[in-house]
Amino acid sequence: MISINDLSFAYDDGRMAIEHVSLDFKPGEKAALVGPNGAGKTTLLLHLNGILRGQGSVVVGEQAVDDRTIKAIRARVGLVFQSPDDQLFSSSVFDDVAYGLVYQGEEKIVIREKVAQALEVVGMPDSQARSPYHLSLGEKKRVALATVLCMQPEVLALDEPTAGLDPRGRRGILNLLADLDQTLIVATHDLEMVREIFPRVIIMDAGRVVYDGETQAALADRALLEAHGLIG
Amino acid sequence: MKAPVPMHIPDGFLSVAVSGILWVVSLIFIFIALKKAGKEIDESRLPLVGVLAAAIFAGQMLNFAVAGGTSGHLLGAALAVLLVGPWPAVLVMTSVVTVQALVFQDGGVLTLGANLFNMAIVGVAVAYFVSDLFKHWFGDKRWATLLTAFAAGWFSIFIAALAASLELAFSGTSPANIAIPAMGGIHALIGIGEGLITLGAVSLIMSSKPQLLEKKAEEKVGSSFVWISGLVLTVVLLIISPLASSKPDGLEWVAEKLGFLIMAQDASYHIIPDYVLPGIQNEALATIMAGAVGVVIVMALVLLLTRRKTSQTAKH
Amino acid sequence: MPVDIEQRASYEYGDSLLHLCDARIKITLLMVYLITTALLPVGAWAVYLLMGGVLLIVAVLSEIPASLLLKRALLLEVPILLVLIPQIFLKTGNFIEINPWSGFAFSLSLTRLERVASLLVRSWLSLQFAVIIMSATRFEDVLAGLRACGLPRMLTAIFGLMWRYLYVLLDEMHNLTQARRARSSTLQGSFKQAGGSVWWRAQVTGGMAGMLMLRSLDRSQRIYQAMQARGYDGEIRSEAAAIPLTKAQYFSIAAFILAGLLMVLLANGMAA
Ligand SMILES: Nc1ncnc2c1ncn2[C@@H]1O[C@H](COP(=O)(O)OP(=O)(O)O)[C@@H](O)[C@H]1O
Ligand SMILES: [Mg+2]
């Protein structure tokens, strides 16, 4: 589904944020991306639909990410940012969820339908007229997910979807993720969630992939987890 | 917690002619700014302008005591210019001033054109002109950058206040010899607060993200229009204001001839107005004294009001 | 900034006639009222009263609690008023000498007094009318109305973004100031600020402003990325399309303008 080949990227200040990353994801696969703060998880996710373009290649399906394919790829890979305050920039929940659909050139009736459907899925069916500002963090995160789900992407890339949530909010998101059948690539610090939902885990540290394999084996390896700051 | 700034002119304080003319001038400027921002600057400026406008609005809540209860706080035109360059700054300040008027009734709707002119155009153009001039003179050493920030902040406030007071005088709302010294005087003080906050902000940004302050060469080319506007506004307002305040009748006479004033009853322009200040016969001296009295009264009342407000907030 | 956001926080929920009225109609009504008020001559007290009557009717139509409107009614731009006051002591027009005790005298210009009073009344009427209209209109509707009246797309989008992030950043601002207050011991209700010189305080305040600006620059970059991720391509699109005005709505706009003209003529006729 997605294949990343020898990808490296440096921000303006010249330091490498990710270095020589190569990964493959099969359709329907659920993979977690873990690692300490600053490991490069967010940077990597931003490459999946061409927000950032580093050296090396990213191929989605059979399309390489470049100027010509970018529109199609953004429709195929849905990206949810860590802070819903960055993801939700419109003045009503409806406008925010509809945003991507408007850019896809959908008909008005279709937009209404898809927005309602996506909000239903995330359990926020009655929130269309509300302002995203007035939602709780848990609700914001659900709506942020809906803004991408409504576009029916094949791949979902989520950045720390459970960070900052209370136990009930976290459980809600967990149940939601478990029910999705898209390809899931999720950056997180929540090892409990990884254990529960993701059969595959990728550990990053200082911009490099240091482990890529079965979750069970990784979580059983205390030395590995400690070496990369995943347990205290 | 907030100190009042008499910069936002409410409805009713400007004649329809003055409001109308400044609406047209402001719209032309904003139109050019939109064209420039849409073409020259990449589209990532859209959220930049919106969020920066919100930040400047929020930053206007920041204040600190200067002296005797006056507090310094932010208008933001200079900071916007230093961060994003003149044209986007015009849009940032336009958003701030417009939303303040529409939603919070801070400044009138009919007078919005004038308030946009003073804060989004005069403020920005003057800040740009002054900062560019200072950079040219003093280079970009650390102290020079800080001095530039202070000067851009102070001048943007002071010149904008002169523009506002001339508008009030032209509208017949307040005679020039009261409006100009009073507005100019209090804003010369408020400008110090603006300058210091701008300086503090620039100093922080210099130490954490200096690349933001290095303006790109290509940005300057498209901005010569703003630069020249800043030069002209600064020079003209600095010359006109003292002239007008020493000859208040002259200004009212001009305004009346131009049809700016619709005042049927007030046929008293030929009487030389002066304050009854015992013992002062000299006309020029009386004018200066008049200005001083105006400033003192305004200051005293502002102090009283801020004092009341501060103690009220403190109780919460 | 001179206003207290919480105090003026604009929109009040409701389903009154005024709330339900099309935003474009309300915007025209507001403009007509403001222009009319600005055109009224000095001392047309009877017409001011009429305009006050119109204000009252609209206030009743809005069904916003009187207590709330009264609270907002006290908001006047105080400092700028102070620029007005000194002129009543000028020896201009029709003035009287007041000599409260020997050796001290001042003059009071009745002409200027009437002029200042007229100005204050008109300014108050305008402000109150704007407050009521904006209390009964959601900002989104104001924006859509302005867009329909010709506000450029880009400005509409910028205002919308600004509105959305205003509250987010005000929250951050609030946290910053609280953190500052928690660490500094300001004597409450007094101007004696504990902790450092003006210079130092300015640096701290400026630093907070700088921090706010930096955060908002970072945030604007992330918002831009989030927009791109959902297909934003530099064109602003929106699915809201304006419904054309009905005949009745056009008619009411014409009626407002006519009424405004009448008021101005009436006031000038009475003054002459
Ligand atoms: N906008 C940016 N500008 C400069 N450096 C950045 C930016 N975003 C992230 N970085 C740097 O890149 C590295 C990787 O960051 P990130 O991808 O956000 O890590 P993670 O998401 O794993 O915490 C860090 O060293 C971080 O400081
Ligand atoms: Mg991250």
Residue A58 sits in a domain whose CATH number is 3.40.50.300
Q: Is the pLDDT of residue C20 over 90?
A: no
Q: What is the structure's pLDDT at B64?
A: 63
For residue B38 the two structure tokens come to 């849409």
Do the domain assignments include residue A140? no
Answer for the pair C151, C194: CB distance below 8 angstroms, yes or no: no
Q: What proportion of chain C, given as a percentage, has pLDDT over 90?
A: 5
Could you tell me if residue B194 is inside a domain? yes
Tell me whether residue B300 is in a domain.
yes
Ligand with smallest separation from the Cα of A43: 1
C149 CA to chain A: closest CA distance, Å? Answer: 20
Q: What is the 3-state secondary structure (H, E, C) of C106-169?
A: EEEEHHHHHHHHHHHHHHHHHHHHHHHHHHCCCHHHHHHHHHHCCCCHHHHHHHHHHHHHHHHH
Model confidence at C238: pLDDT above 80: no
Best mean pLDDT range from B172-181, B183-192, C39-48 = C39-48
Q: From the CB of residue A19, how many other CB atoms can be counted at a distance below 10 Å? A: 18
Who among A75, A87, A91 is closest to C160 (CB)? A91
Contact assignment for C1 to B11 by CB distance below 8 Å: no
The pLDDT assigned to B221 comes to 47
**B–C interface: beta-carbon pairs under 8 A:** 365
Nearest to A74 among C164, C229, C237 (CB): C229
Cα–Cα dist B18/B232, whole Å: 20
Q: B310 falls in which pLDDT band (50, 70, 90)?
A: very low
Q: Name the pTM for this structure.
A: 0.80
Q: Total structural domains in chain A?
A: 1
Instruction: Give the integer Cα–Cα distance in Å for C80 and B9.
Output: 7
Say if A119 falls within a structural domain: no
- For residues B135 and B144, the answer to whether their CB atoms sit within 8 Å is yes
C206 vs B13, B106, B201: nearest CB: B201
Cβ within 8 Å, pair C226-A86: yes
B282 domain residue, yes or no:
yes
B67 membership: H or E segment, kind and range: strand B63-67
| Count of domains for chain B | 1
Whether B2 is in a domain gets the answer: no
pLDDT tens figures, C32-86? 998 888 888 888 899 999 999 999 999 998 888 877 777 766 665 555 666 677 7
Q: Is residue A192 part of a domain?
A: yes
Atom 17 (ligand 1) nearest CA: A40
B9 falls within a domain: no
| Backbone torsions φ then ψ of C51, nearest 5 degrees | -65, -35
The confidence band for B314, taking pLDDT boundaries of 50, 70 and 90, is very low
Residue B219 within any structural domain of the chain: yes
Give a yes or no: residue A30 inside a domain: yes
pLDDT band at residue B75 under the 50/70/90 scheme: confident
A112 within a domain of the structure (yes/no):
no
Prediction ipTM score: 0.85
Structure tokens given for A106: 């959908």
Residue A142 lies in a domain: no
- Name the pLDDT band for A154 (thresholds 50, 70, 90): very high
Summarised one tens digit per residue, pLDDT across range C199-214 is 777 777 888 888 888 8
Residue A181 structural domain: 2-86+153-227
In a domain, residue A41? The reply is yes
Q: How confident is the model at residue B113 (pLDDT cuts 50, 70, 90)?
A: very high
Q: What is the CATH number of the domain that holds B300?
A: 1.10.1760.20
Has residue A219 got a pLDDT over 60?
yes
CA of A167 to the centre of ligand 2 (A): 21
C245 burial level (CB within 10 Å; 0-12, 13-18, 19+): middle
What's the full length of chain C, in residues?
A: 272
User: What DSSP state is assigned to residue B14?
Assistant: S
| CA A28/CA A26 separation, integer angstroms | 6
Two tokens, residue C124? 């108050």
Distance, CA of C145 to CA of C211 (rounded, Å): 35
Which range marks the domain in which residue B74 is found? 16-315
Asked if C139 and C20 count as a contact pair (C-beta separation under 8 A), the reply is no
Q: Considering only A194-208, B208-222, C246-260, which range has the smallest mean pLDDT?
A: B208-222
Examine the pLDDT at B267 and tell me if it is beyond 80: no
Least confident of A52-61, A165-174, C131-140: C131-140
Residue A148 maps to a domain: no
Q: Which residue has the higher pLDDT, B5 or B213?
A: B213
CB-based contact C229 A90, cutoff 8 Å: no
CA distance A159 to C242: 37
pLDDT beyond 70 at A48:
yes
pLDDT at B14 over 80: yes
Judged by a CB distance cut-off of 8 A, whether residue A85 touches chain C is yes
Task: Flag whether B1 is in a domain.
Answer: no
- Beta strand extents in chain A (DSSP E only): 2-10, 16-25, 30-34, 55-60, 63-64, 77-80, 155-159, 183-187, 200-205, 208-214
C189 — pLDDT class (breaks 50, 70, 90): very low
Is residue B101 assigned to a domain? yes
